Structure formats: structure tokens, C-alpha cells
Structure 1
Amino acid sequence: MKKITGLIRTILTTLICVCSIGSVTPANAQQYLRIGTGGTAGTYYPIGTLIAGIVSQPGKILATAQASNGSLGNVIAVTSGALETGFSQADVATWAKNGTGIFEGRPSLPSLRLIANLYPESLHIVVRKGSGIKTVADLKGKRVALDEPGSGTLISARQILSAYGLKEADIRPEYIKPNQAGDKLIAGSLDAFFFTGGTPAAAIADLASTGAGIALLPIDGPRAERLLKDNPFLHGDTIPAGTYQGVAAIQTLAVGAQWVTSEKIDSDLIYQVTRTLYGEAGQKALASGHPKGRFITLGNAVKGAGIPFHPGAERYFREVGVLK
């Protein structure tokens, strides 16, 4: 818990304080909407860029995707006013709002609100083929990248390691993004790396396409069942064969990717971007713009909500009948 506390403190003290969009924005003025995503080699960033392009309206709304450390950094940035919106794993968002999980005993973020649930994020553990690493337990004593502080991947990695009876002290951890981890894996200076994100993830797809030979470790059986029991936001998942070149199908777990904001953000603004995203043109652009875009539908938008919807998003979802 001390590590988490220090991490939260670091993120808070390094955020740049800016004025958030609020009800004082003139009615006819162009409004700005930043979307905190993740590293450029993950899935949050291309999805954020896609959504920003869809919801932007010339002269009215200018949305931009902003690279960031990921889930934990995003929820803190959103509630502090350093970002208007951001992406987060469902578990991280719920813990932050309710003061549970990694936020237990620490200041919660009560102003956090949900715009929509987006798509499932698969838990990946990447190793080199022929490395002899077949299970998570085999990572003991190995050089393993867990992603950067502030990322949802780091939180998920700690959960998985714990389920297999491992602590960070039992491995040789590195805290780097997956694109850097892929380079080190090829160079032979890293044995494995974790990544939580939508498939296909650019960093892993690029790595597989080099022909270097990679494999994914399964997260299944009794250990996975324990994780599912202890973490209601996780669910069983399969990464199909061919998702990454030369990589066989694998059983793993997944968590929802969610778009969050603050209760302080203008209700009409959130209503407009939600309506645009789930309108006919927005849905067509999502479906053709990224494999995970096909999951960003009205049917999925209200699933797995662990925090209250923002009034603007709630208004739209009630209008179209997906919320009663």
C-alpha cells in the first residue's frame, strides 16, 4: 500500500493544473476536450485518437487524444482538472470513486463519473518462443516488464503475480512501456512483459511481425478462477489464433475499458459527444477505424458500470432507452 500511496502522491504533484471546462463556458464558444489515453504503442491511444476525430465538431468542440501513463494517472488527472476526460480500466475507476482496492484507506475521487463502457481489455503476458517459460509461475527470477507507474497494466500485473504466489521481489521487475519492453525482449535483455489492453495491441503486433518468435502465457485454471472470484470486474477471455502473427490462441482474462470524466464537466458537452459517438456516423467510423471500435456500441456502453454516469451521458442513454 505504501507503493501505491507514493505513486498517487507522485502523480498528483506532477500534474499541471489547468482550468477545466465547466458551466462558465460561453454557450457559443468552442469547447476543448482532452482524452487521456495511454502509451502510443497500446490500444488506448489509437482508440482515443479515433474517438476524438469522431466527436470533434468544427467551431464547437475540439477533442484531442493525449498520451499518458494510463488508467491510474488518468483518473487522478480527470478529477484534479488536468484533463477533461480519460480512459481507465473498470476496476481502477471503481476503486478510485469508492475508496476501495488500491485506494482503500486513501483519499477517494468522489467526483469521478462514467461516460461509457467501451470494450474489453485482454491481459497479455508476452515471452519469447523457446524460452522455457510456460506459466506465470515460471517468471520467478526472470526479467519482467510490468509497465510504468500510473498504468492499469502494472495494477493487473501485480494481481496476476499474487494469484500465482509471486511478489515483485520474486522477479527482476522493470517499469517500462510495452514498445520498449518488446525491443528488450528481442535483444535478449528481457524475458517477459505484461500488457493490459484491447487486441490487437500495436506493440505486440509489431513485435510478432518481426518474426522474432513470441508466445503468450495462459491465465486459466484454478488461479484464474481465484482472480475472477476476487475481482468482479474481470471476466474470462480468449485471444484468438492469428491475432498476432504466429501466436496460438490463448485463454486469459479481460477487464472493461471505460471513458471517464468529472462531475464538474459541462453536461451539454458530454451529452453532445456521447450522442455523436453513438450516432449512425459515429458507429460506422468506429467499426471501420479499429478492431476494438466494433465493441463500442450502445449495447456495451452501459455494461459493467461501477460508478455513476455523468448527467450528460445519462441523459443520452435514457433518451435512446439503454438506461431506464
Structure 2
Amino acid sequence: MSLKNWIKTLTLALAVAGSVGTVHAQQFFRIGTGGTAGTYYPVGGMIANAISQPGKLIATAVASNGSVANINGILGGSLEAGFTQSDVAYWAYTGTGTFDGKPKAENLRLIATLYPESIHLVARKGSGIKSVADLRGKRVSMDEPGSGTLVDVRLILGAYGMTDKDIKAEYLKPNQAGDKIRDGGLDAFFFVGGAPAGAIAELASSGAGIELVPLVGPEIDKLRSEQEFFTPDTIAAGMYQGVGEIKTISVNAQMVTSAKLSDETIYDITKALYSAETRKVLDNGHAKGKLITKENAVKGAGIPFHPGAEKFYKEAGLLK
């Protein structure tokens, strides 16, 4: 073969290889969730499996510190998407609340509102804690830095005229807090997540003896009037072994991403999230899965939708 023909053949081969590589290029899609004993992690795992398309897109659920950490990961490029509380997403986008004084996260975009997250105040049985007011001077875990729970707990304590300094504050993941309650080293802990939350269910069934403290009354009503993302909520009786119905408040769990991701990628992911196959996985995989519907996805947005997600919801007749 002449040198000229050999170069032609090599050029053609490289072109074909390049086109095949493009067709089969596999994209990795990391979804920041939360601690492994919470609700974000198992739900994130279900969603990651459901939206993965071998050869095209591989999604993985990544354990993290929660809402704030996930948003920072998305903005920093270490995550493609993440779960967050709706209040935290709004604060990040507007540069207010816990993000006050920081640059606005103007590239933050919504894929879907997923389900309501109940605020749990778990107390050791016999601790005498019947209200948030009873936490004064007690050993209380407020969840770890970077979590949305910590942000909300400070608002709740503030409604009762308290700060971290008025309690013996610890900053633990819910499973670690559960272990300390079981061992007698903690009086109570907060957790924000879809019920049932793994760490609390495990603690309740271990025979350790827990109570869920209601979040009701004039202080909570005033807080809700000031922070409208808090909504009344009920944790059903029997959701945790030996625990009756409890009135509390909740925020929404959302799945967010960056405006920098392509419209096609986010459209395909949103479409896969609400496919018939995914429906079966969500309905059978977790109690909160049944609430992850395309109808609920467009409620309580707070921040702009990613154009790819918006396209899907418009096609479904859910957005104008």
C-alpha cells in the first residue's frame, strides 16, 4: 500500500473510531444524597438505578453531609445533581438565609420536587422532653454541619428564644445520635427527612425507648408565618415501632442540578424518572417513593427549573 493510501486508510479508521466513541461515550452522573441512615441515600440509590442507561449514562448515589454540602458540590463541579431541602435551595439561589453574604448560586436549577420531609425531634423515653422549650440545658444533636437539618433546627430553637448555647449541642449524623441515645449519652436529636428514616426506625425497634416530640403551638405558628416553606405535617402512628401519631412541620425534598448541564441530559433524566419502570421501583422501594410523581414535581419550586426538566413538564401538560 502506498504511503498516500495508508494515510487515507488510517484517517478513515480514526474517523470511524471517533464516531463510535461518540455514540458510546458514557456519561457519569453523581447525585449527592445524605448520610446512609437517612432518607436521601436510599431514595437517591433507587433514582440512580432507575435513570441509568448502560453505555450512555451511569448515575450513582453519593453519601454526603446533606443539602448545603450537595449544593456546594454542584456549584463546585464535584456533583452533577443533589438532593436538598427546598428552603436551602431557595437561600442558596437568592444568597439569603444560611447563604447570606455568599455569592448567589445563580446556576442552581430544579429538576423536581420529590416529597415532603418531616422534621423529627426524637427524645429518649423518660427524658421529660415534651416540647422544644424542654430542650434547654439538655444534650441535643442538631445534625452535622452542611446539613439542611442544622439550618432548620437553629430556626426552630430561635422561635423559642434559644440558640446552640442554650443546649448542650452536638453535631452528629442521625445514626450516631441514635447510638448515643441508646447508650444514654444523649437526650434528643433532630432529623429532617422523609418518614420512615432508617436511623430512627432502627432505634425505635431496638427497644431503646424513644418518643417523637410534636412541633406545634404559638411559637411554631409564628415561625411558619415568617418562613413560609415550613408546612404542617403529620407522622402517622406506627411509622416507627411503638410511636403514635405526631403533629410536626415539614419542608420539601428537591433534586437540583446546574444550569451548565445540557438540556438533553436533564430532559432524558427527568423523563426516565417518571417512566413506568421507575414507577414500580419507587412504589415498592421506600415509603416516600409513592409521592415522587410528575404532578408533585412542579409544586413549591422556589428556584427556576432546568430547561431540560421544564421541557418534559411542558410536554406532560404540567407547566405552561
Q: Smaller-chain TM-score range? A: over 0.9
Q: Deviations over 1:215-242 (max 9, x none)?
A: 0111011111112111111100000110
Corresponding residue of 2:305: 309
Q: Deviations over 1:61-84 (max 9, x none)?
A: 100000000000111110111100
Q: CA RMSD in A?
A: 1.1
Q: Give the partner amino acid of 2:258.
A: S
Q: Give the partner amino acid of 1:61.
A: L
Question: In the alignment, is residue 132 of structure 1 matched against residue 101 of structure 2?
Answer: no
Q: Unaligned regions of 5+ residues in structure 2, if any?
A: 1-20
> Separation in 1 of the partners of 2:268 and 2:157?
42
Corresponding residue of 2:52: 56
Structure-2 change in CA distance of 1:26 and 1:173 (3 Å): farther
How high is the sequence identity, in percent, across the aligned residues?
60
Shift of 1:102: 1.5
Question: In the alignment, is residue 320 of structure 1 matched against residue 316 of structure 2?
Answer: yes
Question: In the alignment, is residue 44 of structure 1 matched against residue 40 of structure 2?
Answer: yes
Corresponding residue of 1:150: 146
> Separation in 1 of the partners of 2:79 and 2:222?
35
Corresponding residue of 2:282: 286
Runs of 4+ in 1 over 3 A off after TM superposition: 25-28
Q: Which residue of 47, 69, 74 corresponds with 2:70?
A: 74
> Separation in 1 of the partners of 2:66 and 2:297?
20
Q: Deviations over 1:71-118 (max 9, x none)?
A: 001111101111000000000001101111122232111100000000
Corresponding residue of 2:240: 244
> Separation in 1 of the partners of 2:305 and 2:24?
25
Q: Deviations over 1:133-157 (max 9, x none)?
A: 1111110001100111000110111
Q: Give the partner amino acid of 1:94.
A: Y
Superposed, 1:204-243 pairs within 5 Å as: 204-243=200-239
Corresponding residue of 1:92: 88
Q: Give the partner amino acid of 1:241.
A: A
Superposed, 1:109-128 pairs within 5 Å as: 109-128=105-124
Corresponding residue of 1:198: 194
Give the aligned length.
300
Q: Give the partner amino acid of 1:89.
A: Q
Q: Which has the larger radius of gyration?
A: 2
Contact 1:140/1:171 (CA < 8 Å) preserved in 2?
A: yes
Question: In the alignment, is residue 295 of structure 1 matched against residue 291 of structure 2?
Answer: yes
| TM-score relative to the length of structure 2 | 0.92
Q: Give the partner amino acid of 1:30.
A: Q
Corresponding residue of 1:3: none
Corresponding residue of 2:6: none
Q: Unaligned regions of 5+ residues in structure 1, if any?
A: 1-24
Bigger shift: residues 27-36 or 243-252:
27-36
> Separation in 1 of the partners of 2:264 and 2:22?
12
Shift of 1:28: 4.0
Contact 1:133/1:139 (CA < 8 Å) preserved in 2?
A: yes
Corresponding residue of 1:177: 173
Bigger shift: residues 227-236 or 39-48:
227-236
Contact 1:76/1:109 (CA < 8 Å) preserved in 2?
A: no
Shift of 1:27: 5.5
Q: Give the partner amino acid of 2:309.
A: A
Corresponding residue of 1:12: none
| TM-score relative to the length of structure 1 | 0.91
Superposed, 1:259-270 pairs within 5 Å as: 259-270=255-266
Q: Which residue of 87, 90, 105 corresponds with 2:101?
A: 105
